[in-house]
Amino acid sequence: MTSKIQKFISGTDFSNALKITIASVFPVLLFSYFDHFQIGFTIALGAFFTFPSDIPSNFRHKINGLLVTSLIIAGVNLIVNLCYSFSLLFYPVLIVLLFCISMISVYGQRATMVSFSALLSISLAFAHLSTGWEMLRYAGLLFTGGLFYTFISIIFFYIKPHRYVELQMAECIRLTAKYLKLRGDLWELNSNRKAITKKQLHYQVELNVLHENIREVLITNRTNSGPSGQSRKMLLSFISLVEILELAISTSFDHNKLHQKFDDYPKALETYQNLAYNLGSTLRSLSQSIHDRKPYESKQNLIEDLQKFESVIIDYKKDLKADSSSEEVLMLITMLHYAEKQVEKIKTLERAYTDDINSKDLKGRDKDIEKFFKTQYYPLSTFVENLSFSSSVFRHSLRLTITILLGYMIGKVLPLENVYWIILTIVVIMKQGFGITNERTYHRIFGTLAGSLIAFGILYVVHDSYIISTMAIIAMLLGFSFNPSNYKIGATFITIYVILIYGVLTPDNGNVIEYRILDTIIGAMLCFFANYFFWPSWEFLNLPSYIRNAIEANRNYLKQISYLYNKKGEVSTEYRLARKQAFIEIGNLMASFERMLQEPKSKQNKIDQVYKLTVLNHSLLSSTASLGTYIQSHATTEASKAFNVVVDKVIENLEFAIIILSNPYPDTNLIASNEDFDQRLIELKNIRSKELKQVKLIDEEAYQIKMQEAQLVIEQLVWMTSLSENIIKTTEVLKGIKKETH
């Protein structure tokens, strides 16, 4: 229990909650001491509005983002106050303001959070409408609050400048360990491989997000401030983690076939499964030590595990008198080589946290690394291009604008005291996706009701304003701590905080709190209905583009692998970029599928085909990466004509699937005859054995290496061909061109 509390307190969410709690409470306490509570409260609001835009990034982007947010929240508040007295002007300006602020989400995560901060400022502008110089004074105090929060954020950054990256790295290592553990689970004889694969895809989505967060901070800091010991350590760790995941994804085994081959020799698979589990266990221990900031000590002897498996292979050959080039032995050797490479990368990762790192340790792996980071760029053309119903951001902006207007009008028509609370609820709950909005609606209502019961209970028992204020501050801290990870609990604590504050400020006005509950329920219900009826962003509308992007990324990656196999030489930056994009697009496809699962059953159109295409694309990525990894780590022979014909056929199949997704009536003549391809496939299966018979090999080891290359390359090409053909068939079913056949 104590360790869990320590982990919670040392986490990023608690640190962020502490920042906003200090930035909100300090001005109130300071100015209340001088009898200027309203000034302190307004500054606290400015800090509160600025806080959401404080997302993880490098220092320069953090400061620029917070300063821009401070200006925007003060500016929109001033605009609302200036126009409110002129009805003919107010409504058009409010509509344009709401829509444009919502639309800036097209520029990415930071812009989305700035948009959210500005919408919060607009909603609470109705709580303090003023005229004359008071408008400027109030906007100025909000801006001051934004600056104060920026100051607090800078202090926290300098106290622990690398803590965020450390925690993100620890989380990345932890999730990678879970991914490797699942690979160990696959070796169970009767394991539920479909469920395990689904979990692996889920972790891959989470790891993609973490990789992007870490990449932004590390690469931008390296570009701006140059390399240092800490940055080298983090960069080496990050590159190693990406390579560990890539290697895990790229090395797939036919578990059913392996169980058939080694059922009579169970020691082989049992020894390997134990090795697979220890790979994940090592990473889990490393993650824990980084999180707790304790010296790392390896608890697993991976080298010894490798030696045990190598001994098993020797015993197998001896006991069954198997030839070194037999299929069974080659399978075991392939498994051993994967484990050896994985252990090597894990050892590199361990060394980053036990030894001093210098530039030589990177061995050129950071070459052109800046190209892997998307620069911050906000062209007007992006905004204009999204002004159509084909854009989910455009539909969400319209939906949000109309819902806020409806909430405002309902608040004016009904005898409600504070219309701004309805608007605030809509801004907080409503998101682009139906699933997340629906979930937050229920959590918000639950949090409001549960928090109200708890807070009223406290106010009934406790009457000392100092004790109530202290409990309110604690509730605020806990609310912001839980909000990112558990919105239900976060909403509960924030409701407690709001009610306790009102209990101190207006102890005799119980109606205010009752109206808050009613306003919250009205706002939540409006969100639910608006998200269902006002141009909903059903995921099936977006899925074809995600599927197309995944197929295109796989095709581009395969092209780069083919080029590398033909030309040999060093791995190019283009290859690495294509590989990164393939991993990202598969993750995006899986994330879209997960969002679809949160939607009503009636909107889960052809979900079986969508899931099948997700798995097929993931399998294709695994097979493609497996071929690419082998080419990089082995001295391969010259690519044959048969190899190129088969690769070209796979690429052609993928391009045809892309055409199907783009055009519901594709030209079936685009797919060439399979006659030449079938001949090349037969030729590919025989060509290596012919070459090996003609070449006078020096020793058995060299012969074994050649046979291993032949087996792996041929198996992957045959598998990729089958996958690409299944992608075409499933895509045709998805688009309604053909019916699924079993």
Answer with the residue of higher pLDDT: 474 or 232. Answer: 474
Torsion of CA 450, 506, 524, 145, to 10 degrees: -110
The pLDDT assigned to 575 comes to 80
CA atoms within 13 A on the CB side of 699: 1
DSSP characters for 300-346? --HHHHHHHHHHHHHHHHHHTT--TTSHHHHHHHHHHHHHHHHHHHH
Q: Phi-psi bin for 253: left (phi > 0), alpha (psi -120 to 50), beta? A: beta
Contact criterion met (CB below 8 Å) for 732 and 612:
no
Contact criterion met (CB below 8 Å) for 411 and 419:
yes
Query: Does residue 662 sit in the same domain as residue 611?
Result: yes
Query: Does residue 356 sit in the same domain as residue 246?
Result: yes
The pLDDT assigned to 71 comes to 93
Query: Does residue 53 sit in the same domain as residue 14?
Result: yes
The pLDDT assigned to 370 comes to 46
Q: The whole model's pTM is what?
A: 0.73
Of the listed ranges 3-7, 329-333, 378-382, the least confidently predicted one is 3-7
Write down the residue that tokens 């697993």 correspond to: 300
SS3 assignment for 582-611: HHHHHHHHHHHHHHHHCCCHHHCCCHHHHH
From residue 435, how far is each of 71, 525, 593, 597, 723 by CA, in Å?
Answer: 33, 15, 12, 8, 31
Query: Does residue 618 sit in the same domain as residue 722?
Result: yes
Answer with the residue of higher pLDDT: 737 or 171. Answer: 171
Mean pLDDT confidence for 633-659: 75
- Is 410 a domain residue? yes
The pLDDT assigned to 363 comes to 55
Token pair listed for 96: 């344009």
Q: How sure is the predictor about 637, in pLDDT bands with cuts at 50, 70 and 90? A: low
CA atoms within 13 A on the CB side of 67: 7
Query: Does residue 348 sit in the same domain as residue 468?
Result: no
Output the CA angle 460-464-465, nearest 5 degrees: 105
Distance between CA 17 and CA 108 in Å, rounded? 23
Q: Give the residue from 515, 537, 559 where a domain finishes.
A: 537
CATH code assigned at 186: 1.20.58
Query: Does residue 435 sit in the same domain as residue 345?
Result: no
Q: How sure is the predictor about 729, in pLDDT bands with cuts at 50, 70 and 90? A: confident
Most confident of 150-154, 456-460, 572-576: 150-154
The pLDDT assigned to 141 comes to 92
Q: How sure is the predictor about 249, in pLDDT bands with cuts at 50, 70 and 90? A: confident
Distance between CA 284 and CA 295 in Å, rounded? 14
Provide CB contacts within 8 A for 91, sequence distance 6+: none
Write down the residue that tokens 């109606």 correspond to: 511
The pLDDT assigned to 414 comes to 76
Query: Does residue 50 sit in the same domain as residue 149?
Result: yes
pLDDT at 636 over 80: no
Write down the residue that tokens 């340790």 correspond to: 361
DSSP category for residue 485: T
Mean pLDDT confidence for 271-280: 87
Most confident of 357-366, 643-652, 704-713: 643-652
Mean pLDDT confidence for 656-678: 64
Q: Phi-psi bin for 106: left (phi > 0), alpha (psi -120 to 50), beta? A: alpha
Distance between CA 384 and CA 106 in Å, rounded? 10
pLDDT more than 70, % of the chain: 78
The pLDDT assigned to 707 comes to 56
Contact criterion met (CB below 8 Å) for 278 and 300:
yes
pLDDT at 144 over 80: yes
- Is 545 a domain residue? no
- Is 382 a domain residue? no
pLDDT at 51 over 90: no
pLDDT at 686 over 80: no
DSSP category for residue 509: -
Mean pLDDT confidence for 156-178: 81
- Is 655 a domain residue? yes
Most confident of 4-13, 132-141, 387-396: 132-141
The alpha carbon of 39 is separated from its chain's Cα centroid by a whole number of angstroms, namely: 40
Query: Does residue 672 sit in the same domain as residue 704?
Result: yes
User: Measured between alpha carbons, how far apart are the two ends of the chain, in Å?
Assistant: 52
Query: Does residue 170 sit in the same domain as residue 133?
Result: no
pLDDT at 657 over 70: yes
- Is 412 a domain residue? yes
pLDDT at 739 over 80: no
The pLDDT assigned to 168 comes to 81
Residue 522 amino acid letter: I
Strand ranges in 473-592 using DSSP code E only, listed in sequence order: none
The pLDDT assigned to 143 comes to 93
Distance between CA 328 and CA 334 in Å, rounded? 10
Distance between CA 342 and CA 346 in Å, rounded? 6
- Is 32 a domain residue? yes
Torsion of CA 724, 729, 732, 737, to 10 degrees: 150
Query: Does residue 674 sit in the same domain as residue 595?
Result: yes
Look over the chain and give the mean of its residue pLDDT values, rounded to a whole number.
Answer: 77
Provide CB contacts within 8 A for 251, sequence distance 6+: 338, 622, 626, 629
Q: Give the residue from 537, 566, 582 where a domain finishes.
A: 537
pLDDT tens, residue by residue, 581-623? 888 888 788 878 877 777 777 777 777 888 888 888 888 888 7
Domain that holds residue 100: 1-161
Contact criterion met (CB below 8 Å) for 613 and 730:
yes
Q: How sure is the predictor about 708, in pLDDT bands with cuts at 50, 70 and 90? A: low
Provide CB contacts within 8 A for 102, sequence distance 6+: 115, 119, 393, 396, 397, 400, 401
Of the listed ranges 388-402, 597-611, 626-640, the least confidently predicted one is 626-640
From residue 16, how far is each of 6, 20, 54, 482 by CA, in Å?
Answer: 16, 7, 9, 11
Query: Does residue 218 sit in the same domain as residue 309?
Result: yes
Mean pLDDT confidence for 484-512: 72
- How many residues would you count in the chain? 742
From residue 666, how far is each of 297, 585, 661, 726, 737 by CA, in Å?
Answer: 59, 24, 9, 17, 9
DSSP characters for 249-267? HH----HHHHHHHHTT-HH
Query: How many other CB atoms sit within 10 Å of the CB of residue 282?
Result: 24
Distance between CA 7 and CA 454 in Å, rounded? 26
The pLDDT assigned to 374 comes to 52
Distance between CA 432 and CA 440 in Å, rounded? 12
- Is 472 a domain residue? yes
The pLDDT assigned to 223 comes to 44
Torsion of CA 524, 425, 395, 414, to 10 degrees: 70
pLDDT at 680 over 80: no
pLDDT at 292 over 60: yes
Provide CB contacts within 8 A for 247, sequence distance 6+: 338, 341, 342, 345, 629
Of the listed ranges 26-40, 152-166, 280-294, 547-561, the least confidently predicted one is 152-166
Number of domains in the chain: 4
pLDDT tens, residue by residue, 103-142? 888 877 778 888 888 888 888 888 777 778 888 898 999 9
Query: Does residue 169 sit in the same domain as residue 157?
Result: no
The pLDDT assigned to 55 comes to 77
- Is 526 a domain residue? yes
From residue 364, how far is each of 224, 343, 359 by CA, in Å?
Answer: 19, 20, 9
Answer with the residue of higher pLDDT: 97 or 531. Answer: 97
